[in-house]
Amino acid sequence: MNGVIPIDEMVNGQGGVRPQWRRLLSAISDLGHPELLARQQQMALALADQTGALSSSSSSGAREALESHGGSGFIGAQCDPIPLLLKADEFSRLEAGIIQRARLQEALLRDIYGERSVLADHLLPPALVWANKGFLRCGEVDALRPAEHYFISSYAVDLVREPDGQWRVLADRVRQANGLGLALENRRQMTRAIPELFAGEALQRLRSFLERWQDSVQKTGMGETANPALLTPGPSSPFWSEHVILARELGCTLVEAGDLTVREGALWLKTVRGLRKIDALLLRQNADSIDPLELEGTGSAGVSGLLDAARNGSVRLINDPRAGFVEALGVQSFLPGIASRLFGETLSLENVESLWLGQPDNRVFLEQLLFGRSQPHQDTIDYWAIASAIGEDLPAQRLATLDEKQRMLLWEKVRTEPWRYIACREPLASLSPCVGEREIVPRSIVLRMFAIQDENGWSVLPGGMCRVFESGEAITAGPIGENQPTKDVWVMVDENFSLQETSFSTPYPLAIRRSQGDLPSRAADDFFWLGRYLEQIESGARLLRVVMTHMSGTEPSPRELADIAVLMRQMRTMGLVQEAPVPAYGYAGMVRGLFAIGGSDGFFARVLRKIIRLVPELVDRLTQDVRDFISHRGSAILKMIDQRPRRTDPARMLDQLSGLTNDLLLYSATLSGFAAESMVLSGGRQFLDLGRRIERASSVLLICSGVLEQPDVYQRGRMEAALRLMLQLCDSVITYRSRYFGVVQPAPVLDLLLLDEDNPRGAAYQLAALRDSLTGLASDSPSMPEGQRSASYELADTAENIRITLAEMVESVVSASSQDTATAALPSALKDIQAAVLQLSEQIGRSYFSVLNSPRLVGIGNETAIDMDGAVT
Give the pLDDT score at 713.
62
Q: Do both 616 and 763 map to the same domain?
A: no
pLDDT in tens, 439-450: 999 999 999 999
Q: Give how many domains the chain has, as a whole number.
A: 4
pLDDT at residue 19 tops 70: yes
Mean pLDDT of 729-757: 92
Q: Do both 693 and 631 map to the same domain?
A: no
Give the pLDDT score at 585.
60
pLDDT tier at 869, thresholds 50, 70, 90: very low
Q: Do both 833 and 777 map to the same domain?
A: yes
Give the pLDDT score at 3.
66
pLDDT at residue 183 tops 70: yes
Give the pLDDT score at 715.
57
Give the pLDDT score at 873.
31
Mean pLDDT of 292-303: 75
Give the pLDDT score at 242.
87
Give the pLDDT score at 157.
95
More confident residue, 352 or 400: 352
pLDDT at residue 578 tops 90: no
Q: For residue 477, what are the contacts with CB-CB under 8 A and spacing of at least 6?
A: 158, 170, 171, 329, 387, 396, 424
- Residue 94 covered by a domain: yes
- Residue 273 covered by a domain: no
pLDDT tier at 9, thresholds 50, 70, 90: very high
CA 712 to CA 725: how far, in whole Å? 15
pLDDT at residue 478 tops 80: no
pLDDT tier at 138, thresholds 50, 70, 90: low
pLDDT at residue 96 tops 90: yes
pLDDT tier at 864, thresholds 50, 70, 90: very low
Domain boundary among 401, 426, 451: 426
| Mean of pLDDT over the chain | 83
- Residue 301 covered by a domain: no
Q: Do both 566 and 621 map to the same domain?
A: yes
pLDDT at residue 582 tops 80: no
- Residue 302 covered by a domain: no
Peptide bond into 801 cis (omega under 30): no
Strand 421-425 to strand 354-356: parallel, antiparallel, or no bridges (unpaired)? antiparallel
pLDDT at residue 76 tops 70: no
H-helix segments, 152-219: 180-193, 207-217
Classify residue 179 by its DSSP letter. Answer: T
Q: Do both 647 and 687 map to the same domain?
A: no
User: Quick check: 492 and 203 in contact, CB under 8 A?
Assistant: yes
pLDDT at residue 656 tops 60: yes
Residue 231 is inside which H or E element, if any? strand 228-231
CA 609 to CA 635: how far, in whole Å? 8
Give the pLDDT score at 221.
54
Residue 542's Cα: distance from chain center in Å? 32
Torsion angle of C-alpha atoms 728, 729, 732, 737, degrees rounded to 10: -20
Mean pLDDT of 806-812: 94
Give the pLDDT score at 414.
93
Mean pLDDT of 617-630: 85
The least confident of 80-89, 206-215, 827-836, 850-859 is 850-859
User: Quick check: 372 and 378 in contact, CB under 8 A?
Assistant: yes
Give the pLDDT score at 664.
93
Helix (H, G, I), strand (E, B) or coil at 224: coil
pLDDT tier at 36, thresholds 50, 70, 90: very high
CA 802 to CA 36: how far, in whole Å? 62
- Residue 253 covered by a domain: no
Q: Do both 667 and 807 map to the same domain?
A: no
pTM over 0.95: no
Which class for 377: exposed (0-12), middle (13-18), buried (19 or more C-beta within 10 A)? middle
Segments forming the whole domain that contains residue 139: 43-64+75-217+319-350+442-491
Give the pLDDT score at 434.
94
- Residue 642 covered by a domain: yes
More confident residue, 810 or 592: 810
More confident residue, 186 or 851: 186
Q: Do both 410 and 485 map to the same domain?
A: no
More confident residue, 630 or 55: 630
Mean pLDDT of 606-613: 92
Mean pLDDT of 824-830: 93
Give the pLDDT score at 388.
92
pLDDT at residue 678 tops 90: no
Q: Do both 526 and 587 map to the same domain?
A: yes
User: Quick check: 459 and 420 in contact, CB under 8 A?
Assistant: no
Give the pLDDT score at 470.
86
pLDDT at residue 625 tops 70: yes
Q: Which residues pair with 283 in a beta bridge?
A: 231
pLDDT tier at 338, thresholds 50, 70, 90: very high
- Residue 734 covered by a domain: no
Q: Do both 148 and 168 map to the same domain?
A: yes
pLDDT in tens, 700-740: 999 999 999 876 665 556 788 889 999 999 999 999 999 98
Give the pLDDT score at 409.
93
Among 402, 273, 321, 306, CA closest to 791: 273
pLDDT in tens, 415-470: 999 999 999 998 999 999 999 888 999 999 999 999 999 888 999 999 999 999 98
The least confident of 226-235, 478-487, 635-644 is 478-487
CA 173 to CA 451: how far, in whole Å? 11
pLDDT tier at 34, thresholds 50, 70, 90: very high
Give the pLDDT score at 224.
63
pLDDT in tens, 231-275: 998 888 888 888 988 998 888 899 998 899 999 889 999 888 778
Give the pLDDT score at 515.
52
pLDDT tier at 506, thresholds 50, 70, 90: very low
Q: In what order do the strands lie in the sheet with 354-356?
A: 354-356, 421-425, 384-388, 397-398
CA 455 to CA 223: how far, in whole Å? 11
- Residue 140 covered by a domain: yes
The enclosing domain of 846 has a CATH number of: 1.20.1420
The least confident of 110-124, 171-185, 585-599, 677-691 is 585-599
Mean pLDDT of 571-587: 73
Q: Do both 187 and 136 map to the same domain?
A: yes
Give the pLDDT score at 58.
41
Give the pLDDT score at 273.
77
Q: In what order do the strands lie in the sheet with 253-255?
A: 253-255, 228-231, 280-283, 316-318
Domain boundary among 640, 663, 679: 679
Give the pLDDT score at 867.
41
CA 802 to CA 379: how far, in whole Å? 83
pLDDT at residue 632 tops 90: no
Strand 354-356 to strand 78-86: parallel, antiparallel, or no bridges (unpaired)? unpaired
Q: Do both 638 and 582 map to the same domain?
A: yes
pLDDT tier at 119, thresholds 50, 70, 90: very high
Give the pLDDT score at 52.
60
CA 389 to CA 419: how far, in whole Å? 7
pLDDT tier at 674, thresholds 50, 70, 90: confident
Q: Do both 111 and 169 map to the same domain?
A: yes
Domain boundary among 386, 401, 426: 426
pLDDT tier at 682, thresholds 50, 70, 90: low
Share of the chain above pLDDT 70, in %: 83
More confident residue, 873 or 355: 355
